[in-house]
Amino acid sequence: MYKDLDPLIHSQLRLAIISMLVSSEKVEFTHIKEETKAAAGNISIQLKKLQEAGYVDIEKTFKNNYPKTMISITEKGAKAFESYVNSIKKYINPE
């Protein structure tokens, strides 16, 4: 049953990021950093893994000469999260 858990989402930081994105249309990188208390470099690495899997989109722009990175969940990412949650439910409460 444990093997049903998506290893991309099961990582603590990636799970936190995906959880934030599920409830918001877009989340700014700095918000993820504030909420998770993780280092910017670690967040960047985890976002890259999620992006490579097609779970998130990353949009980089500038606002008042400062970089602004916005992250949003893709349909594939939302489905993967839903599947992950269902697997966790089965793991916790097997039928």
The per-residue pLDDT for range 27-85, each reduced to its tens digit, is: 999 999 999 999 999 999 999 999 999 999 999 999 888 889 999 999 999 999 999 99
Q: What CATH number should be reported for the domain whose range is 2-88?
A: 1.10.10.10
The per-residue pLDDT for range 1-14, each reduced to its tens digit, is: 456 788 889 899 99
Question: Exposed, middle or buried: residue 40 (CB in 10 Å: 0-12, 13-18, 19+)?
Answer: exposed
Helix axes of 12-22 and 75-92: crossing angle, nearest 10 degrees? 120
Kindly give the residue spans of alpha helices, DSSP state H, lying in the chain: 7-10, 12-22, 29-36, 40-52, 75-92
What pLDDT, on a 0 to 100 scale, did the predictor assign at position 3?
62
pTM of the model: 0.88
Domain edges within the chain: 2-88
What pLDDT, on a 0 to 100 scale, did the predictor assign at position 2?
54
Other beta carbons within 10 Å of 7: 9
